[in-house]
Amino acid sequence: MSRHTVDDLQAIADAIVAEVRDGEQIAASVTRSTETDVRVRNGEVEHFVSAQSQSLGITVIQDGRTGSSSARMFDEASWREVLAEARENASFGSIDEFAGLAEPDGVEIVEQKLWDNSLAAFPTDKKIEIAKDLERLVLAQDPRLRIDEADYADGATEEASATSLGIRSSSRSNSCYATVSVLVDDNGETQTGWAYALGDSPDKFDLPAAAQKAAERATRLLGAVKPASRVTTVVLDPMVTAQFLGIISGTLVGENVVKGRSIFADRLGEKVASPLITLIDDPTDSRAYSACETDGDGLATRRNVLIQDGVLQMFVHDAYSARRANTKSTGNSGGCLALQLVPGTKTQEELIAGIDDGVLIDSVQGLHSGVNPVSGDFSTGASGLVIRNGKTAEPIREFTIASTLQRMLLDVQAVGGDVDWLPSRAAGLSLVISGVTMSGA
Amino acid sequence: MSLVDLSQEFDSAVLSRVLAKGRSTGAGFSEVFIEDKRNMGASLDDGKVEAVNSTRDSGAGIRVINGDTTGFAYTADLSEKGLLAAAEAAAAAAAVGDGHVHTVSLGSVARQQVNNVRILPTSVPKARKVELLMIANDVARGIDQSIVQVSAGYSDATRRILVANSDGVFATDEQVRTIFRVSTVADGDTGMQTGYDSVGYTIGFELFDEESIEELAQRAARQAVTKLRARPAPSGAMPVVIKCGSGGVLFHEACGHGLEADLVARGASVYANRVGEQVASPLVTLVDDGTMSREWGAIGIDDEGHKSQRNVLIENGVLTDYMWDHIRSRNDGHAQTGNGRRQSYQHLPMVRMTNTFVLNGTEEPDDIVRATEKGVYVAKLGGGSVNTATGDFVFGMTEAYLIENGEITEPLREGNLIGNGPQVLADIDLLGNDFAMGNPGMCGKDGQGVPVGDGQPTLRVKSLTVGGTAA
């Protein structure tokens, strides 16, 4: 049980699941949240959004049939209506002998710091100042820079859930960030860059570092040309690696495995990656941005080693896929929750120093359209810097890099030590992959 | 059975008081956007109808514009008290504080009937919707024994909106959309391949009287089966022919986003300051048209209460105009064009496309292929994305073939295509006479998704970079 309870919301969730009938299971989740979003341009507030919202979701399983319903109100009349609707919806589902909510498994929650009092008390006018400061700091980096937009945003969520099998959890979380996207003009050419600042509360933001990063991203692409097509070695920047791991994670999710949609379905215990790869999903690691205490089924999250020294160890499961695969839930309802690669020791610069001919991939575009995790085909637009004789050289853009997910994992030549706990479900680090086709002019 | 116009459920005197409250801190403009949306969806996977879901989401977004600052608040509480509280929060967010009372009077409700719904989805038994999923599953699996997995989704949305603002705008619309999707997996010697197809219109359940779910399922299954013998896509720049009704996303990314006035005003578009200039091949006439009845992006009014309209953006290759919303129009002294859209009452409106398409050329589609010695024929495009400031864009090809000696030959594995907007528009050298609209799409911008349509005739881009792995 998490230490923070949200009594009024928990009472509603409890009341809903108390309605359970014979042969039925009910799960209810009740959420209340607030958000602030400030956008600044040219020293003025462009918009200020201040809002509160709430939502209620109910899932009903009757004799192996599943139905759900949701709404924005949770007074008693409303939740009774939603419950009736979920029950009606369940009556149209197919009978699935594996359907069912998670059974409590006794795994203890690893507490996370999800709430920050200083963020909750942070004054509104100072939030506006943060966005203005970020804009000012960026413009001070280089006279050719323009601001596309500078934003400050925060949100707070209180949530309580209950199931008729006795799982109850409630939590309170808040978070904040500032982002900036910039444009740089030179000789009739425009390039773009972006950066963000993170912290438990806004006073922990490193705005100067964000400003420098945004400026660097944009200016270092000035003069970029389209490269010739060839097979090469790429160094993925940490953010790109995190996106790559996000795609890989889908192939390791139990539901895709049991439904025959994973390229690794029959490969447990086999070598699927370079021996340099040890991939762990660990939402209990408080350094991870997406660290959390419970999964979508309400079970405690846990550390799972998915690939050890290149050998596939396990898939992640929620209650449903675990039942189908005749195994136990790994606390992964919702998929991989906080991935990380076990890091190497070299900095990105040291990794690049070992490459005669390659490309540093600064950013990718179109992962949603050119990657198919079922077939394994990987193709994405990219921009970056040429690596020549161990050093970064001229910028390049408007090209694609392509391979297959299977080959890329096996072709990993080095894993960086530069772990970056990015605002995503995967931590980033520099990754060197050979045998990638670069397609350009 | 018909939908009740939201103006029948809200007293214009109450709305006037809410708008006045929005201006109570001195703002020149206030707006209330009320939305009542019901969704019903059902999905089938692995042979079973596994999730039947329904949602109801209603609420109001209050926008207050004070000089260059916009304050925004939203609420799910549609009582007068709830609306006034949200208006007060929005006003405070945009405050300069002159404290005067600004009265607002609303005229009669403006409406424009663009879409006609014959069968409201809410009037159809859920069992009938679920039955369609089973049909799709059975048909797709029956196409070939290599089909190992099928998923199908049905979903309908009934959205009623009301917009009132301090300029006196008072408008309502009802938007009913129905969509059906089928995904397949085929397994063969070279691994697994996927197929996908969808059909959706801004109409009701009559969709299934007009469109065959069986044929949809067959197409999705055949796509996966065909790709089992696909070879790796080539790499490098080459001619690319795009089949009619499959590649509107090319224009959506290559220039659509870059013609949105908010991005233009920010100097974040390669098309800024280029009205009157040749920005595309003279073959290209590009239109954005929210009045195109039934199409996925069709709307009676936009989410700022302005009637949708047909806007010619590029005519014979010359840039004629951008797309506009309330704020950009006001700041630039330009007329609104019915392109102010938002995902929901929880979001601020911005400039968005509706149905964006390229008009017919004169070539026979077969001649376009015959005129191509070596290249790629794209029969189905996937999603795409663009950096509007540089013009660089990508889009995926989910079904493509090699063209060799003027003939379509072997199927290709998936990959992205990459190009630069202005360059690609200039490189369109053949345009067919077989215009067709494409699959229903969801366009994402700044975290908001709205339904959009696109279309084009078969066309050729004389040089595009194909992102495969083969030499």
Q: Which of A374, A378, A383 to mutate to test the interface with B (most CBs of B within 10 A)?
A: A374
Last residue of a domain, one of A165, A190, A219: A219
Can you tell me the mean pLDDT for B283-301?
97
Question: What's the pLDDT at A5?
Answer: 67
Q: What is the mean pLDDT of residues B252-280?
A: 94
pLDDT in tens, A182-227: 999 999 899 999 999 999 999 999 999 999 999 999 999 999 999 9
Q: What is the mean pLDDT of residues B272-288?
A: 97
> From the CA of B239, how many Å to the nearest CA of chain A?
12
A 150-189 residues inside an 8 A Cβ radius of B: 183
Is A375 within 8 Å of B126 when comparing Cβ atoms? no
Under 8 Å between Cβ of A407 and A399: no
- CB environment B46-78: b (16+ within 10 A), e (fewer): bbbbbbbbbbbbbbbbbbbbbeebbbbbbbbbb
- The answer to whether the beta carbons of residues A247 and A371 sit under 8 Å apart is yes
- Token pair 């073959």: residue: B283
Write down the pLDDT at residue B329.
Answer: 97
Distance CA B263, CA A441 (A): 29
Angle, vertex CA B444, rays to CA B308 and CA B156, nearest 5: 70
Q: Give A87→chain B minimum CA distance, Å.
A: 10
pLDDT, tens digit, for every residue of A280-293? Answer: 999 999 999 999 99
Token pair 């408080």 in the structure block, residue:
A286
Q: Identify the pLDDT of residue B100.
A: 52
Across B228-242, B268-282, B380-394, least confident range? B380-394
Average pLDDT, chain B: 94
Token look-up 């779910």 returns: B213
Confidence category of residue B269, pLDDT binned at 50, 70, 90: very high
Determine the Cα–Cα distance for residues B65 and B446; give it in Å rounded to an integer. 20
Q: Is the pLDDT of residue A424 over 50?
A: yes
In a shared domain, residues A251 and A153? no
Kindly list the residues from chain B whose CB atom is less than 8 angstroms away from the CB atom of residue A365.
385, 387, 392-394, 418
Beta strands in A322-390 (DSSP E): 339-341, 357-365, 377-388
Condensed to tens digits (0 to 9), the pLDDT of residues A218-264 reads 999 999 999 999 999 999 999 999 999 999 999 999 999 999 999 99
- Read off the tokens for A74: 């949770």
pLDDT greater than 60 at residue B241: yes
Tell me which fold the domain B6-227 belongs to: PmbA/TldD fold (3.30.2290)
CA A411, CA A271: separation in Å to the nearest integer? 12
pLDDT digits over B132-186, tens only?
999 999 999 999 999 999 999 999 999 999 999 999 999 999 999 999 999 999 9
| pLDDT beyond 70 at B103 | no
Q: What is chain B's length?
A: 471
Supply φ then ψ for residue B115, to 5 degrees: -110, 145
Final residue in a domain of this structure, among A219, A237, A268? A219
Confidence at residue A339, expressed as pLDDT on a 0 to 100 scale: 98
Which one-letter amino acid corresponds to residue A199? G
Band the pLDDT of B102: cuts 50, 70, 90: low
Q: Alpha-carbon distance A303 to A166, whole Å?
A: 24
Task: For residues A203 and A93, state if they share a domain.
Answer: yes
Q: Is there a single domain that holds both residue A138 and residue A230?
A: no
How far is it, in rounded angstroms, from Cα A339 to Cα A337?
A: 6
A250 in the same domain as A215: no
pLDDT on residue A1? 37
**DSSP alpha helix (H) spans, A276-374:** 319-324, 348-353, 367-370
Mean pLDDT in chain A? Answer: 95
Question: Is residue A1 assigned to a domain?
Answer: no
Is B149 in contact with A53 (Cβ distance < 8 A)? Answer: no
- Here the CATH number for the domain that contains residue A206 is 3.30.2290.10
pLDDT at B99: 45
- Residue B390, min C-alpha distance to chain A (Å): 6
Helices of type H across A106-188: 117-120, 124-139
Are the CB atoms for B40 and B121 separated by under 8 Å?
yes
Q: Of B50-54, B134-138, B308-312, B405-409, which range is least confident?
A: B50-54
A381 near B CB under 8 A: yes
Exposure class string for A96-130: b at 16+ Cβ within 10 A, else e: beebebbbeeeeebbebebbbeebeebeeeebbbb
Give me the residues of B, 109-138, that contact A with CB < 8 A: 126-127, 129-130
Distance (Å, whole) CA B191 – CA B196: 17
CB contact under 8 A, B268 and A148: yes
pLDDT of residue A51: 84
Q: Which of B334, B352, B356, B331 is nearest to B343 (CA)?
A: B352
Chain segment A302-360, per-residue pLDDT in tens: 999 999 999 999 999 999 999 999 999 999 999 999 999 999 999 999 999 999 999 99
Position A4 pLDDT exceeds 70: no
- pLDDT tops 60 at residue B98: no
For residue B108, what pLDDT is reported? 76
CB contact under 8 A, B73 and A49: yes
> What are the angstrom distances between the C-alpha of B454 and each of B174, B284, B460?
21, 15, 17
- Take residue A241 and report the two structure tokens written for it: 């690696």
Q: How far apart are CA A365 and CA B390, in angstroms?
A: 13
A337 and A208 within one domain: no
Decide if B227 touches A, using CB distance below 8 A: yes
At residue B110, the pLDDT reads: 82
- CB-CB under 8 Å, B418 with A398: yes
- Look up residue B270 and give its amino acid: V
Helices A7-17 and A76-90: angle between axes, nearest 10 degrees: 40
Question: Domain range for residue A353?
Answer: 224-441
The whole-angstrom distance between A290's CA and the closest CA on chain B is 19
Taking the C-alpha atoms of residue B76 and residue A95, their distance in angstroms, rounded to an integer, is: 35
Q: Which residue has the tokens 């309580």?
A: A160
What does the pLDDT look like over B179-204, one tens digit per residue?
A: 999 999 999 998 999 999 999 999 99
B394 touches chain A (CB under 8 A): yes
Query: Are A215 and A248 within one domain?
Result: no
A299 and A394 housed in the same domain: yes
CB B171 within 8 A of CB B299: no
Enter the tokens of residue A369: 């359209």
Q: Which residues of B touch A396 (CB under 8 A)?
A: none
Q: How confident is the model at residue B97 (pLDDT cuts 50, 70, 90)?
A: very low
Q: How far is A364 from chain B (nearest CA, A)?
A: 10
Determine, yes or no, domain membership for A40.
Answer: yes
Mean pLDDT for the stretch of residues A136-155: 95
Q: What is the DSSP letter of A421?
A: -
Q: What is the pLDDT of residue B466?
A: 96
Asked whether the beta carbons of A438 and A401 are under 8 A apart, the reply is yes
Percent of chain A with pLDDT over 90: 93
Q: How confident is the model at residue B421 (pLDDT cuts 50, 70, 90)?
A: very high
Indicate if A307 and A349 belong to the same structural domain. Answer: yes
Nearest to B235 among A368, A375, A439 (CB): A439
Amino acid B238 reads M
Q: Which residue has the tokens 């409590």?
A: A104
Domain endpoint, select from A219, A252, A276:
A219
pLDDT range class, residue B104, cuts 50, 70, 90: low
Q: What one-character DSSP code corresponds to residue A300?
A: B
A196 and A271 co-located in one domain: no
- In this structure, what token pair is assigned to residue A215? 């400026």
Chain B CB within 8 Å of residue A45 CB: yes
- For CA atoms B422, B424, B427, B432, the dihedral sign is negative
Are A231 and A171 members of one domain? no
Mapped onto helix, strand or coil, the DSSP state of residue B362 is coil
Residue B353's SS3 state is: coil
Which amino acid appears at position A63 of this protein?
Answer: D
Specify the pLDDT at position B454. 95
Q: Which sequence spans correspond to the domains of chain B?
A: 6-227, 235-467
A345 shares its domain with A404: yes
A413 in the same domain as A358: yes
> Can you read off the two tokens belonging to residue A77?
């009349």
Q: Does any domain span residue A2?
A: no
Whole-angstrom Cα distance, residue A236 to residue A413?
12
Number of independent structural domains in chain A: 2
Contacts of B387 in chain A (CB under 8 A): 192, 365
Which site among B45, B52, B130 would you substitute to test the A interface, given the most A Cβ atoms closer than 10 Å to its Cβ?
A: B52
Q: How many CB atoms lie within 10 A of CB B435?
A: 17
Residues A52-106 have pLDDT tens digits of 889 999 999 999 999 999 998 889 999 999 999 999 999 999 999 999 999 999 9
Q: For the residues of A324-341, what is the DSSP string, one character each? A: HTTS---S-TTS--SEEE
Alpha carbons A39 and A175: distance in angstroms, whole number: 17
Q: Does B48 touch chain A (CB under 8 A)?
A: yes
